[in-house]
A and B are shown apart, each in its own frame.
Chain A
Amino acid sequence: MTVTTFAAIDIGSYEVEMVIYEISSKGIKQLDHVHHIIALGRDTYNSKTVSYGLVDELCEVLYDFVNIMKTYHVKNYRAIATSAIREAQNSINIIDRIKVRTGLRVEVLSNSEQRLIMYEAVASKKEGFGKLIEKGVAMADVGSGSSQVSLFDNGSLITTQNVRLGALRVNEMIEKLAKSVSSSLAIMEEYIDTDVEVLKKLFIKDRKIECLIAVGDNINWFISRLSENQPREYYSRDEFMELYHKLYLMGNVGDRLGMSAEQAAVVLPSMMIYKKILDASDAQTLWIPGVRLCDGMAAEFAVKDKKIDVFEHDFNNDIIAAARNISKRYSWNKEHVKFVEKNALAIFDATKKLHALGKRERLLLQIACILHDCGQYISIMKPAECSYNIVMSTEIIGLSHLEREMVANIAKYTTMDFNADDELSGIFTDETMLTLSKLTAIIKISNGLDRGHKQKFKDTKYVLKNRELQIITQTYEDITLEKGASCGRVSLFEEVYGCKPVIIQKRR
């Protein structure tokens, strides 16, 4: 049996932590866990940069972490930073300082990447997760800067939304406004209520939610400190409310619960956010799986590098389901979307020899197809740009930031001229540009085949023959428009693949 050690480092808004795991075919076991309170988020949310002193302290702590990693002979690690660093104007310098002083490479995660990791951490708890999301379930991941609310049904993720309600952010905001403790609690409630209201109206609507999955560091603390008995994973709504009231009335939380001042300051705001979301969702039970970001990183590492089966859950389905949900909101012509998706994927599969792309790219193409015409909802004049903007401002958990940008561009260039020399090449690497152009070429043809939005091409077959992509279709309808749209505008496909698309109409 091979045993690997893996270190996961999470640079959060008020705490840095490292967990060292032992990964083997038996699963993932935690070996060591250290955390250090450091309020990076306070600097970022107040002054937009992290001060020199804190960066210095951060480097020192990380240097210690490196030493602890050495103790366990750790070779693989992943270090990530979340909103406090992401939103800091000096984030590039901070990452560089860390690299120079400690040798650690720190990735700054986008919100959706960060949420995916947390989501993976939850999903790695196979026993609880798979069964639970068969029914209507909401997941609240309350962080320091913002919170993520996701809805599940029938085994996959339906929708997810980021709200700028973070424990530290709320606390900082209220501290500036409030004059007394009692009034600050009231202001805090009001402040949180407005955002949660929107969340309820737009996302939760009248969905039936049976259980709220509550994740985040603060709720883990809260449960372990306030429960009189051994903390559990499941709580009924009433039990949770009882604990919440205990906290609400406690006053000096830090001394009572043996917490540092920084921690004590965020515990009540975050619990209030959970409570409000619980109210909005009307869920009757709470699942507190007690996981943290580091667990998600370990799970991802185990799956990708060690091929160890950690999840039962299919994350690709979530991405597709989420995309369909967005499309449902914006697209007026579902049949057209379906057509483009089906045919683009068929072309992709038929041209495998030419593009040599994999499953992940196929998924990106599929998402782009599903979302390609949602811009029309905003503007008929500029649908391409609008599609781009919708994709870019909609969270799709499971896609990395780069992937999201790729999808947005593919959607945009479905109807616009694709020119590799324009602004794109400044944003993407050559390799990415190539993938982008390959996928765009395919979607352009597929879209062209339904130029009339009448889905005239039925039972279409795609065959590669003599440097031609033969599009064999059986239709009695007039396809002049489509012929012109797809084979007239072939330049990109030909340019990319060196192969000409030809429509062969078979009339029987």
Chain B
Amino acid sequence: MAENKEYGSEYFFNRELSWIEFNARVLSEARDKTNPLFERLKFLSITASNFDEFFMIRVASLKDMVNAGYDKKDIAGMKPQKQLDEIFARTHEFVNVQYSTYNRSLLPQLKNNGLTVVGCFEEMSDEQKEFCDRYFMDEVYPVLTPMAVDSSRPFPLIRNKSLNIAALLKKKNMDEELEFATVQVPQGLPRFVEIPGIDGMRYVILLETIIERYMDKLFLNYDIVTYSPYRIMRNADLDIDEDEAADLLKEIEKQIKKRQWGQAIRLEIQDKMDRRLLKILKKELKIEEAAIYEINGPLDLTFLMKLYGLSGFDALKEKPYTPQPVPGIEPDGCIFDQIRNGDILMHHPYQTFDPVVDFVRQAASDPKVLAIKQTLYRVSGNSPIIASLAKAAENGKQVSVLVELKARFDEENNIIWARKLEQAGCHVIYGLVGLKTHCKITLVVRREDDGIRRYVHLGTGNYNDSTAKLYTDLGMFTCSEAIGEDATAVFNMLSGYSEPLGWNKLSLAPLWLRDKFVSLINRERDNAREGRDAYIIAKMNSLCDKGIIEALYDASTAGVRIRLIVRGICCLVPGIKGVSDNIEVRSIVGTFLEHSRIFAFGNNGQEEIYMGSCDWMPRNLDRRVEILFPVENEELKKQVRHILDVQLSDNVKSRFLNSDGTYKKHPRTGSGRIISQRVFCEEAIAAVKAEETKENPRVFIPMENS
């Protein structure tokens, strides 16, 4: 097998800037007037929370590199400082667009539709003011902790992501000296309150707007000179030395507390902030000019997600979709019997996640079940899966659960579940040193009359029944012996035993997966060179692995037709003459978060389709435990290929990547609007109907001529 060619930095996009492009696509959904108004609020909120995470992790780690004097260029040839400069420049621009969308487009439209977000106190009626007076005194005032700074009281710890109000104070009847004070907007209270309406118009007011109104109540002996809200973001990348950490669980708990103390990397202020206040903040938080964002509007737009939840505006929202039953799975039947009838494919959230929950639930109380093994990465708040696993352990089943404690921002949550499972008697493993366990696999071992049989669920998404309603993912049930054996080997490996000699069907990162992908891509390349029809269709969240991209370039050069559906980051540059002119990259941003990973290879007419938990990113291929599994059942293969085809035909929500790194909308041609996510919804409903009529065939009895 020939090695792949090397390509210079001009053949790659920087991943951070590509990510900002992705957020821009989400933002353009917020600006898209064809979307229902409240959906637009939601998209805007997502751009805000995306940015928070981006700063806490990506910007923070670039900062760390700069601080440590690390000067290596990335694949696009940019040094860390250069990347930071670009990021700050682009994000300032981006924030302006965010707020102009909010102020000029969304606020007026909300007003037109009967909802006012009160900007300042003076706009309110007396009744509304009275309501706020009461609300402040009863609910808000008791939980506020104003803090002043002087020689005896040092600058307080400002918590990461918290919203605060800074003020300059002057002692009443005293000299001119100004004092700095700050008060946190309580996180325990709702960010906005609905106040009494007037003539059919509904009103909401932001919590900080209320607090600002009563600032003088907080500092009784002072005159308030000026005040203004601000918000900071800190470095939140956990820095865990796993080799040193005796107990990973405890170490992570410790680090989570430390997260509050990380270096400040972003300061958001309202654009009218007094320069004297800003100077103090800048000095105390040690923040550079470029990292200060002056904002024309309320800080932290993530409250819009809550605003979306306001009842009574259903006409302004996408019709809620109910995930449909999966044809072939009787909700009340024995799931194991049904899997024995043949492999089953599930497409969430179009189809319900219930069978997966049921799978674990039935296994927990099935007398024939000997063992349940599962990987858990991010678990929902009140997870029925956790409850079933605990019950299974109590029923005497051997239950092994791999809880990935290192799942970002979920660490606290995960620790709680892990403890709970341990108490129930499950064997809980906390992942492998140095590797994140990202694969999603469940194994149920059952003793049946003719011996042991293994049932496996493999998926592209987490075992999280809440996100399964929002993320598009694929899952497969099978009791194939080959996959069952592999699944057992996966769990043995995760429990710390050595790897097996070989795998039947599964390919695993970090050891074998990269080679597998490269050899699949190179096989297409070789086919193309020999003049055979060769193609690759791959869908994933991010593409930024250099080795894979180089293999794709080689394949494209050889004439392989490559169509990629990459939702987020894409470092591959399409359309370079002689290098990537056969590669087409599109991104789909829709109501549901595109999350499934599907890989199809032409293989000279014998198409092969794989699914898995991994993106084409170095972290997925080198530092995580990931599983790629083949779809071999012909019927299932057809279904998965159909999913790809529908996504490729989407001409509304898909945008194409240009050679300059920007995205453009699908040039719609004659045929009608195709929104792939909507097509999947309709198909799921139709499939259930078809199944129903199959079971109760409607028979028309012709009237006899009497």
- Name the contact of A32 in the complex, choosing from B447, B492, B496, B502 (C-beta under 8 A): B492
CB contacts (< 8 Å) of B501 on chain A: these are 220-221, 224, 290
Interface assignment of B670: CB less than 8 Å from any CB of chain A:
no
CB-defined interface of B480-500 with A at 8 Å, one 1/0 digit per residue? 000001001100100111111
In angstroms, Cα B193 to Cα A225, docked, is: 64
Interface assignment of A334: CB less than 8 Å from any CB of chain B:
no
What's the least CB distance linking A295 to chain B, in Å?
Answer: 13
What's the least CB distance linking B76 to chain A, in Å?
Answer: 28
Interface assignment of B199: CB less than 8 Å from any CB of chain A:
no
CB contacts (< 8 Å) of B511 on chain A: these are 258
CB-defined interface of A257-272 with B at 8 Å, one 1/0 digit per residue? 0101001000000000
Interface assignment of A29: CB less than 8 Å from any CB of chain B:
yes
Do the beta carbons of A258 and B398 come within 8 Å of each other? Answer: no
Beyond A5-B452, A260-B498, whether A71 also contacts B398 by CB under 8 A is yes
In angstroms, Cα B488 to Cα A64, docked, is: 15
What's the least CB distance linking B497 to chain A, in Å?
Answer: 4
In angstroms, Cα B495 to Cα A220, docked, is: 23
Do the beta carbons of B498 and A35 come within 8 Å of each other? Answer: yes
Do the beta carbons of A71 and B445 come within 8 Å of each other? Answer: yes
CB nearest neighbor in B for A230 = B502
Do the beta carbons of B370 and A73 come within 8 Å of each other? Answer: yes
Do the beta carbons of A71 and B370 come within 8 Å of each other? Answer: yes
Interface assignment of B660: CB less than 8 Å from any CB of chain A:
no
- Name the contact of B502 in the complex, choosing from A3, A71, A72, A224 (C-beta under 8 A): A224
CB contacts (< 8 Å) of A35 on chain B: these are 497-498
CB nearest neighbor in B for A258 = B511
In angstroms, Cα B493 to Cα A260, docked, is: 13
- Name the contact of A31 in the complex, choosing from B1, B452, B495, B498 (C-beta under 8 A): B452
Do the beta carbons of A228 and B1 come within 8 Å of each other? Answer: yes
CB contacts (< 8 Å) of A246 on chain B: these are none
CB-defined interface of B366-400 with A at 8 Å, one 1/0 digit per residue? 00001100000000000000000000000000100
CB nearest neighbor in A for B492 = A34
Do the beta carbons of A22 and B498 come within 8 Å of each other? Answer: no
In angstroms, Cα B500 to Cα A224, docked, is: 10
Q: How large is the interface on A (under 10, 10 to 19, 20 to 34, 35 or more residues)?
A: 20 to 34
In angstroms, Cα B450 to Cα A71, docked, is: 17
Interface assignment of A37: CB less than 8 Å from any CB of chain B:
yes
What's the least CB distance linking B260 to chain A, in Å?
Answer: 39
Interface assignment of A356: CB less than 8 Å from any CB of chain B:
no
Q: Is chain A's interface secondary structure helix, strand, loop, or mixed overall? A: mixed
CB contacts (< 8 Å) of B190 on chain A: these are none
CB contacts (< 8 Å) of B1 on chain A: these are 228
Interface assignment of B154: CB less than 8 Å from any CB of chain A:
no
CB contacts (< 8 Å) of A231 on chain B: these are 502
What's the least CB distance linking A289 to chain B, in Å?
Answer: 13
CB contacts (< 8 Å) of B320 on chain A: these are none
Interface assignment of B8: CB less than 8 Å from any CB of chain A:
no
CB contacts (< 8 Å) of B500 on chain A: these are 33
- Name the contact of A33 in the complex, choosing from B445, B452, B489, B495 (C-beta under 8 A): B489
CB contacts (< 8 Å) of B495 on chain A: these are 34, 64
In angstroms, Cα B671 to Cα A245, docked, is: 60
Query: How many contacts between A and B, using CB within 8 angstroms?
Result: 53
What's the least CB distance linking B43 to chain A, in Å?
Answer: 43
CB-defined interface of A291-308 with B at 8 Å, one 1/0 digit per residue? 000000000000000000
Interface assignment of B451: CB less than 8 Å from any CB of chain A:
yes
The residues in A between 1 and 36 inclusive whose CB is less than 8 angstroms from any CB of B are 1, 3, 5, 15, 22, 24, 29-36
In angstroms, Cα B500 to Cα A231, docked, is: 14
Interface assignment of A67: CB less than 8 Å from any CB of chain B:
yes
In angstroms, Cα B451 to Cα A260, docked, is: 34
In angstroms, Cα B447 to Cα A43, docked, is: 41
In angstroms, Cα B1 to Cα A430, docked, is: 67
Do the beta carbons of A67 and B398 come within 8 Å of each other? Answer: yes
Interface centre among A34, A36, A64 (most CB of B within 10 A): A34
Do the beta carbons of A22 and B398 come within 8 Å of each other? Answer: no
Q: How large is the interface on B (under 10, 10 to 19, 20 to 34, 35 or more residues)?
A: 20 to 34
Do the beta carbons of B502 and A36 come within 8 Å of each other? Answer: no
In angstroms, Cα B497 to Cα A15, docked, is: 11
CB contacts (< 8 Å) of A5 on chain B: these are 452
CB nearest neighbor in B for A18 = B497
Do the beta carbons of A258 and B450 come within 8 Å of each other? Answer: no
Do the beta carbons of A72 and B492 come within 8 Å of each other? Answer: no
In angstroms, Cα B515 to Cα A228, docked, is: 11
What's the least CB distance linking A74 to chain B, in Å?
Answer: 11
CB nearest neighbor in B for A3 = B451
Interface assignment of A70: CB less than 8 Å from any CB of chain B:
yes
What's the least CB distance linking B521 to chain A, in Å?
Answer: 16
Do the beta carbons of A36 and B398 come within 8 Å of each other? Answer: no
What's the least CB distance linking B448 to chain A, in Å?
Answer: 9
CB nearest neighbor in B for A65 = B497
CB nearest neighbor in A for B445 = A71
In angstroms, Cα B512 to Cα A224, docked, is: 12
CB contacts (< 8 Å) of A64 on chain B: these are 495
Do the beta carbons of A3 and B450 come within 8 Å of each other? Answer: yes
In angstroms, Cα B361 to Cα A486, docked, is: 79
CB contacts (< 8 Å) of A73 on chain B: these are 370, 447
CB contacts (< 8 Å) of B499 on chain A: these are 258
Do the beta carbons of A71 and B371 come within 8 Å of each other? Answer: yes
In angstroms, Cα B452 to Cα A24, docked, is: 11
CB contacts (< 8 Å) of A24 on chain B: these are 450-451
The residues in A between 210 and 231 inclusive whose CB is less than 8 angstroms from any CB of B are 220-221, 224, 228, 231
CB nearest neighbor in B for A23 = B451
CB contacts (< 8 Å) of B450 on chain A: these are 1, 3, 24
The residues in A between 389 and 412 inclusive whose CB is less than 8 angstroms from any CB of B are none
CB nearest neighbor in A for B496 = A36
In angstroms, Cα B496 to Cα A351, docked, is: 59
What's the least CB distance linking A224 to chain B, in Å?
Answer: 4
Do the beta carbons of B498 and A37 come within 8 Å of each other? Answer: yes
Do the beta carbons of B451 and A33 come within 8 Å of each other? Answer: no
What's the least CB distance linking A323 to chain B, in Å?
Answer: 37
Do the beta carbons of B497 and A72 come within 8 Å of each other? Answer: no
What's the least CB distance linking A227 to chain B, in Å?
Answer: 9
Do the beta carbons of A72 and B498 come within 8 Å of each other? Answer: no
CB contacts (< 8 Å) of B445 on chain A: these are 71-72
What's the least CB distance linking A5 to chain B, in Å?
Answer: 7
- Name the contact of B492 in the complex, choosing from A3, A15, A33 (C-beta under 8 A): A33
CB nearest neighbor in A for B497 = A34
In angstroms, Cα B496 to Cα A32, docked, is: 15
CB contacts (< 8 Å) of A258 on chain B: these are 499, 511-512
Do the beta carbons of A36 and B451 come within 8 Å of each other? Answer: no
In angstroms, Cα B501 to Cα A72, docked, is: 22
Interface centre among A5, A29, A33 (most CB of B within 10 A): A33
CB contacts (< 8 Å) of A36 on chain B: these are 496-498
CB contacts (< 8 Å) of A15 on chain B: these are 498
The residues in A between 198 and 243 inclusive whose CB is less than 8 angstroms from any CB of B are 220-221, 224, 228, 231
CB contacts (< 8 Å) of B452 on chain A: these are 5, 22, 31, 72
CB contacts (< 8 Å) of A67 on chain B: these are 398
CB contacts (< 8 Å) of A34 on chain B: these are 492, 495, 497
CB nearest neighbor in A for B454 = A31
In angstroms, Cα B621 to Cα A361, docked, is: 61
What's the least CB distance linking A221 to chain B, in Å?
Answer: 6
Residues of A within 8 A of B (CB): 1, 3, 5, 15, 22, 24, 29-37, 64, 67, 70-73, 220-221, 224, 228, 231, 258, 260, 263, 290
28 A-B contacts (beta carbon < 8 Å):
A3-B450, A3-B451, A5-B452, A15-B498, A22-B451, A22-B452, A24-B451, A31-B452, A31-B488, A32-B488, A33-B489, A33-B500, A34-B495, A36-B497, A36-B498, A37-B498, A71-B370, A71-B371, A71-B398, A71-B445, A72-B445, A72-B452, A73-B370, A73-B447, A220-B501, A231-B502, A260-B498, A263-B498
8 A-B pairs with least C-beta separation: A71-B398, A34-B497, A224-B501, A258-B511, A3-B451, A224-B502, A71-B371, A34-B492
Known: A22-B451, A35-B497, A71-B398. 8 other contacts (CB 8 A): A30-B485, A33-B488, A33-B489, A33-B492, A36-B496, A36-B498, A67-B398, A224-B502
